[in-house]
Structure 1
Amino acid sequence: MVPGLLSDAQVCRTGRWIASLQLPSGAIPWFDHGHIDPWDHVEAAMGLSLAGYLEEAAAAYEWSARTQRADGSWPIKIGNDETVLDPGTDANFTSYVAVGVWHHWSITGDDQFLHRMWPVVSAALDKVAGMQTADGMIAWAEDADGRRFEEALVSGSSSVFHALTAGVVLAERLGRPRPDWERLRQRIGHDLRSHPGSFADRRRYSMDWYYPMLGGALTGEAARTRIRTDWDRYVENGYGIRCVDDQPWVTGAETAELAITLASLGLRSAAMQLLTDVQHLREPDGSYWTGLVLTDGVRWPVELSSWTAAAMLLAADAITETTPGHRVHRPVGRPGPVDCARCRH
């Protein structure tokens, strides 16, 4: 798929490794005998779709459909035996199924799959829309009793923006337009671009640096300027990017996501270099370690993670545009008008 870096056989090997972790129920845990969360489960399913493991990917989405709660959400954390370990709701985790369904449908063109999954996507995005706070932002989570954590996160809100984009695209495909989702999407995008100080301060995390671009809320020259400004803060040449700026720890998924971001901005050479640098995390069976501590060369955490492997495949596709699935990581639409009280003061 990426000449000189990842061959088609290597991509298939990684897909086969992800599939080897899948439980009989269709769920895909973080790592062998690890827990399940709804975001990383979907990310792993996207890796399966891309690698050609379409039946396994469909089974993963069917698991999401079966386990969705009545309010449209999923528990934050589920055990390998599928007992609920954290019954709370994360807005980002819940919304991401829309991106996964968009990706699988883009690759397969399977309208029957889209029709089956539409109620799941619709319920999930409606749940997240209902987590809007009084100031118009999206609360990042709720506890088991429905009490909201009122803070909004840059990375989480950027991912919700991406999911709403997916929902709008799929709704139009089905002839069921959702202008309310589009309005919320525009509002989140406006806040990310114009009011970054309204979000919780998590700037030590590299995700808060690149996620507004990865999700498509920040594009063009403003996005490229943001990339240049903090490049040296997070990027470790030859290794990948730091998860947090104050620790010598590079992580595979974050590096792959930044490569996807760069590809979406037309910076493919830089994206290719990052993806090349982080292949030190790859094992011969196609699996990937989650991260590496640079000071002592220790793999940490000591896990081969399904979602890291999937992110590597998604980055390769974003760079090469091998499958139609790469389009889910390209910006859609333009900023529209937003009635913003902050802007009036």
Structure 2
Amino acid sequence: MTAAIPEALLLDGVLDAEQAAATVRTILADQRPDGAIPWFTGGHLDPWDHTEAAMALDTAGRHDAAEAAYRWLTENQNPDGSWYAGYTHPADGGPVVVSNSAKETNFCAYVAVGAWHHHLSTGDDTFLEWIWPTVRRALDFVVGLRLPDGPISWRQDEDGTAPQEALLTGSSSILHALRCGLAIADHLEEPQPDWELAAGRLGHAVTHHPERFLDKDRYSMDWYYPVLGTALRGDAAAERIERDWDRFVVPGLGVRCVSDRPWVTGGESAELALALWAVGQSDRAVQILRWIRHLRHEDGSYWTGYVFEDDAIWPEERTTWTAGALLLAVAALGGDHATVTVFGGDQLPSGLVVDDCC
């Protein structure tokens, strides 16, 4: 018997109850018995996309499956608080294999976003107390790789070295994670002044110093992630959205992954919709979600992308994180409390206020 789908996941022209339930089932079908959520059965897993899919399961009321995903994270966390950048989960159910032994900081930080979202979805203080050591170790690892001018190095290599380089997209996501981590710390009365300082300095860098990050301007994620990651709101967010709208948005199809390629992707489109909702542009958000119905498979999953010059699906894979991003965007538009709180940002601690003199 199919569990009832929350009304927040019903959006005219995007998902009805049957369609939403089918999409949720596709994520559950790819989730392994140990809780891991790879991109697709037998495919790659990274901790960030795994967490995004778990959050989507919470929006559908599948808190048991989401908690299993967080249990996987706790059981596979490295002693230093990190996770590896890539794992492979064989389709035959064999043991997990590390496929990328680098440690990407935004991947490691995102557990804080998922943990706070799960707590807001369930009200389960026992869960929050249980996962707190995992979150604390993860954010301590990430904050330990901050650079002198506020950003955080985007990865630690296998030999333990970290480049003195930061990514705007990744740093925006880390800022969001630090703010969620501070919300958890406040709830548990476990002050984290080092995180407060790191969040303040990182937020200042994202908002005021784009020159401190590697130039990835051709990627749409660098365009909208300062908004999605809660760094920009108000006029600054609206100006950023308008500045590159025509460069990345393909009317009727969705959002380009990169500005110079004829390729729209479902994940970027859904994430942009979520960012648009966060800054009061819900009509645009709904429009984009309706556009990407052409990426929906008959089983309820979503293709990763579409090359419109060739009229071709590419790559030929349907990913749990694409479905997850869409469910989260719909949930925000539908008023789901946890999703609204986490991505709206107004109720998240902002960290210490800093400027270039501090």
Q: Does TM, normalized by the shorter one, top 0.5?
A: yes
- The whole-number CA distance in structure 2 between the counterparts of 1:159 and 1:334 is 14
**Counterpart check, 1:203 vs 2:221:** no
- The whole-number CA distance in structure 2 between the counterparts of 1:100 and 1:169 is 12
- The aligned amino acid for 1:74 is W
Q: Deviations over 1:39-63 (max 9, x none)?
A: 1111111111111221111101000
- The whole-number CA distance in structure 1 between the counterparts of 2:353 and 2:123 is 33
Q: Deviations over 1:277-307 (max 9, x none)?
A: 1111111221000000010111111100000
Contact 1:189–1:218 (8 Å) recurs in 2? no
Contact 2:198–2:351 (8 Å) recurs in 1? no
TM-score calculated relative to the size of structure 2: 0.93
The match for 2:356 is 340
**Counterpart check, 1:2 vs 2:8:** no
Which residue of 246, 252, 270 corresponds with 2:284?
270
Q: How many pairs align?
A: 342
Structure 1 104/243 Cα, relative in aligned 2: closer, same or farther at 3 Å?
Answer: same
- The aligned amino acid for 1:226 is R
Contact 2:220–2:258 (8 Å) recurs in 1? yes
The match for 1:142 is 156
The match for 2:204 is 190
**Counterpart check, 1:160 vs 2:174:** yes
The match for 2:118 is 104
The match for 1:58 is 67
Offset of 1:326 from its aligned partner? 2.5
The match for 2:3 is none
**Partner of 2:44: helix, strand, or coil?**
coil
Which residue of 289, 293, 306 corresponds with 2:307?
293
Q: Deviations over 1:62-121 (max 9, x none)?
A: 000000000000011111141111111100000001001111111111111111111111
- The whole-number CA distance in structure 1 between the counterparts of 2:14 and 2:277 is 16
TM-score calculated relative to the size of structure 1: 0.96
Q: Deviations over 1:134-189 (max 9, x none)?
A: 33320000111111022100000000000001001111111112122121111111
- The whole-number CA distance in structure 2 between the counterparts of 1:91 and 1:187 is 16
The match for 1:248 is 262
The match for 1:90 is 104
Q: Structure 2: which 5+ runs fail to align?
A: 1-9, 90-94
Which residue of 169, 176, 184 corresponds with 2:190?
176
Structure 1 204/261 Cα, relative in aligned 2: closer, same or farther at 3 Å?
Answer: same
Q: Structure 1: which 5+ runs fail to align?
A: none
- The aligned amino acid for 2:66 is A
- The aligned amino acid for 1:69 is N
Contact 1:243–1:251 (8 Å) recurs in 2? yes
- The whole-number CA distance in structure 2 between the counterparts of 1:170 and 1:9 is 34
Which residue of 238, 244, 261 corresponds with 1:224?
238
The match for 1:119 is 133
CA RMSD of aligned residues (A): 1.4
- The whole-number CA distance in structure 2 between the counterparts of 1:325 and 1:214 is 12
Offset of 1:222 from its aligned partner? 0.6
Contact 1:50–1:323 (8 Å) recurs in 2? no
Contact 1:29–1:36 (8 Å) recurs in 2? yes
- The whole-number CA distance in structure 2 between the counterparts of 1:328 and 1:263 is 13
| Identity over aligned pairs, percent | 49
Contact 1:12–1:52 (8 Å) recurs in 2? no
- The whole-number CA distance in structure 1 between the counterparts of 2:15 and 2:298 is 12
**Partner of 1:317: helix, strand, or coil?**
helix
Contact 1:291–1:301 (8 Å) recurs in 2? yes
